[in-house]
Amino acid sequence: MSIRDVAGHAGVPASSIDYHFGNRDALLKAVMQTVTADFCLSMTSAAPSTGTVDEVLQSYVDVLAAGSAHSRGHHILLLEFTLYAARRPASGLAEWQYAQYEAAAHRVLDRLCVQSGSTFVGDRTVVVRFLLAVVEGVTLQQLASRDTQSVRPLLRDLAHALAPHLLPHPAIDDPPLATAGRAPTTAPGGEA
């Protein structure tokens, strides 16, 4: 791909692109940043329903499965950019791209906790990286096999792996866990 090719597709003179970006790598970096930011926004702005942990996880599975089936070209473009960045480690683009993915996944976990009324337990960084690795693997498998039907069960298994890290908040009338089923040790006002 050359600046001239890009200019031709955009319908602008090559000198305009050269002037604005300086070189092909700067142009690709700008495109990669835009595409990655768009992907992260779509990941965090999907609005599954509120409900139990299982219901909210299922709605995220539905959103991810629909996205993987309908955006093949977008996923291929993201992977191409990842490979481009990985071949140029000095650019720092691959690290930047994955930092964006991790930040987006943390925001998704935050939303998931709010929507399901739960608290996250465990090492968030490890879980986020696990989630990203599985989603990327599922995406690659779906791109290679073109089998969109296999995505949903794999994502459901991912949701089941995530569920133990989400502890539902007790209902307002539930006694606190520490004193459930036991008489209080002191009466209100400090008297026993």
CA 123, chain centre distance (Å): 16
The packing angle between helices 124-145 and 72-86, to 10°, is 120
CA distances in angstroms from 40 to 6, 99, 100, listed in the order given: 25, 11, 7
Q: What are the tens digits of pLDDT across the range 70-110?
A: 677 878 888 888 888 889 888 888 888 888 889 888 888 88
Please tell me the pTM assigned to this model.
0.71
Which domains occur in the chain, in start order? 1-33 (no CATH), 47-168 (1.10.357.10)
Q: What are the tens digits of pLDDT across the range 5-47?
A: 777 877 888 888 888 888 777 887 888 788 777 777 776 666 6
β-bridge mates for residue 5, sequence order? none
Higher pLDDT, 172 or 66: 66
Measured distance CA(93)–CA(97) in Å, rounded = 6
